Structure 1
């Protein structure tokens, strides 16, 4: 079995002869850590006493799962997000001793990780690119230096043809005429300029080929009357794919990367809208019919830690990881103008959505360090 420490999700079906358990979920004092440990889908027998605490009935953990748990709780759980980018405030390795000061109830668990894994926890001082100090991003944030970087984005990001065989969805909450296709077109003029990409001079139809993402972004509740229109283009649409991962020259560092700059831009909040709207206007002027862009909810949709690094190097510039990184971007569509009214997009069907079940995925992190 191939096992990746610091995996994004649970590790399951581990061979007990190859990965012998060293602890169990009952070893932990902190309730958050205990609940996190119970999330691992491991098929060890739990009737034998735990080799660490001697109790039965807990979820057995080998060293590899224990290391994943430490990363998920202390590293991901201490993530700090700035206006752009972000970085964990705690890290661990086998070379340093523990220097963080945790809450009293967490100290026995910290000692357990130290003893069984031979690691130490310390405050992490990130490289500044992780906090948004990326030259193209800094130029985008300055209105006086923005235009050349936007032109680079138009020139360097790939163009995609979205044809009649592509299906995508648009949600509306409480439309006045739910069965009327025109209700699912871009909003009227008086509502323009409030979204991520639309502006007073550029109506945008927001949609996604991923229906779950639509539900996330529309913040649908069980009380809403929600409807979904299934749409297809009537002609090939020329779209600028901003969800793509740029394969930049190997000599480009994280501080110079246009790819990382755009990635951070779409993970930012409303303060980034002004820049994104200017990119959209430039794409319109370059005769694109719209843009594909990564959903703000991509990472929470997939349950993935943002701004992952290996020894300070972004995963996005490691060739062996680029395909995997690109797959993390859940694509959204922003189609310019009013494509339903113009006939460039047809509404195939309209259905009411009934929320039957909602489940939150979560894990924990330290409250003090």
Structure 2
């Protein structure tokens, strides 16, 4: 199969991205984060590890280096999956690590970009689901697009995003873009539950939610790594 995912191509063009972002806001479901829900945030060597504010978003003046934060627009990144948190933070055994277990103080409304769009009647080349899936599998070159989506969701009244971890496939040990006769399994209704299970969600809460009394720290603990394990296989060496 040869072609391009047209919604993703449109997202790359500032002249056409606004219409696709509006579709994302309309077609992806909302997710309610409730006070009984818990998730994790890890810090390396915070200056005062026992204080809750150390686990808030970076100040707005320091924002703009992550996937969804922009200059002047802070985002708190967290996950309900502790192993994904560890991998996202690029920790080593020598790091002085701490983890805060967090919960909302009241319900928060998030835009859930981790969900597979099952209602689509479109080819892979026209699929918004494939566009967003590929966007969050991409590296730093995709950050400007993801940041525009985050800003639009904030303007639309969402408190944050649920988004698929870049490390979902590595975390679960599955290969990307499993296909049947060259067609992504995401496009087959019989395989959609399986494909959904391959996504590990991350959370992005807009602003400084601990300072703004939207999130509380249930507990803070030192985090000690006692085992690391890798699964790997060999592949061919490519030459330019």
Q: TM over 0.5: same fold?
A: yes
Instruction: Tell whether 2:188 aligns with 1:318.
Output: yes
Specify the alignment match of 1:308 in structure 2: 178
Deviation at 1:294, TM superposition (A): 0.3
Specify the alignment match of 2:206 in structure 1: 336
Instruction: Tell whether 2:6 aligns with 1:128.
Output: no
Distance in 2 separating the partners of 1:327 and 1:357: 25
Distance in 2 separating the partners of 1:143 and 1:302: 34
Asked if the contact 2:38–2:102 (Cα under 8 Å) also holds between the matched residues in 1, the reply is yes
2:74 to 203, 221, 228: 203
2:133 to 251, 263, 266: 263
- Cα deviation code 1:296-331 (max 9, x no counterpart): 000000001012111111111100000110111100
Deviation at 1:232, TM superposition (A): 0.5
2:118 to 247, 254, 266: 247
Specify the alignment match of 1:235 in structure 2: 106
Q: What is the DSSP-based 3-state SS (H/G/I as helix, E as strand, rest coil) of the residue aligned with 1:151?
A: helix
Q: What is the DSSP-based 3-state SS (H/G/I as helix, E as strand, rest coil) of the residue aligned with 2:210?
A: helix
Specify the alignment match of 2:23 in structure 1: 152
Instruction: Tell whether 2:57 aligns with 1:186.
Output: yes
Q: What is the DSSP-based 3-state SS (H/G/I as helix, E as strand, rest coil) of the residue aligned with 1:239?
A: strand
Range moving further from structure 2, 305-314 or 238-247: 305-314
Distance in 2 separating the partners of 1:207 and 1:298: 14
Q: What is the DSSP-based 3-state SS (H/G/I as helix, E as strand, rest coil) of the residue aligned with 2:61?
A: helix
Task: Please list every run of 5 or more consecutive structure 1 residues that lacks an aligned counterpart in the other structure.
Answer: 1-126
* Cα pair distance change 1:367/1:188, threshold 3 Å: same
Distance in 1 separating the partners of 2:60 and 2:112: 26
Distance in 2 separating the partners of 1:335 and 1:217: 16
Asked if the contact 2:60–2:73 (Cα under 8 Å) also holds between the matched residues in 1, the reply is no
- Cα deviation code 1:208-237 (max 9, x no counterpart): 000000000001001100100000001110
Q: What is the DSSP-based 3-state SS (H/G/I as helix, E as strand, rest coil) of the residue aligned with 2:231?
A: coil
Q: What is the DSSP-based 3-state SS (H/G/I as helix, E as strand, rest coil) of the residue aligned with 2:234?
A: coil
Q: Which has the higher contact order (CA 8 A, sep 6+)?
A: 2
- Cα deviation code 1:177-202 (max 9, x no counterpart): 00010010000223200000001132
Deviation at 1:368, TM superposition (A): 6.6
2:47 to 176, 180, 185: 176
Distance in 1 separating the partners of 2:213 and 2:76: 13
Specify the alignment match of 1:40 in structure 2: none
Asked if the contact 2:61–2:72 (Cα under 8 Å) also holds between the matched residues in 1, the reply is no
Structure (1 or 2) with the larger CA radius of gyration: 1
Distance in 1 separating the partners of 2:27 and 2:46: 39
Asked if the contact 2:120–2:127 (Cα under 8 Å) also holds between the matched residues in 1, the reply is no
Which runs of structure 2 are paired with 1:108-127 in the superposition (5 Å)?
A: 127=1
Distance in 1 separating the partners of 2:81 and 2:237: 34
Distance in 1 separating the partners of 2:238 and 2:148: 40
Distance in 2 separating the partners of 1:150 and 1:249: 16
Specify the alignment match of 1:118 in structure 2: none
Q: What is the DSSP-based 3-state SS (H/G/I as helix, E as strand, rest coil) of the residue aligned with 1:221?
A: coil
Which runs of structure 2 are paired with 1:1-369 in the superposition (5 Å)?
A: 127-129=1-3, 133-250=4-121, 252-367=122-237
* Cα pair distance change 1:367/1:178, threshold 3 Å: same
> Cα RMSD over matched residues?
1.2
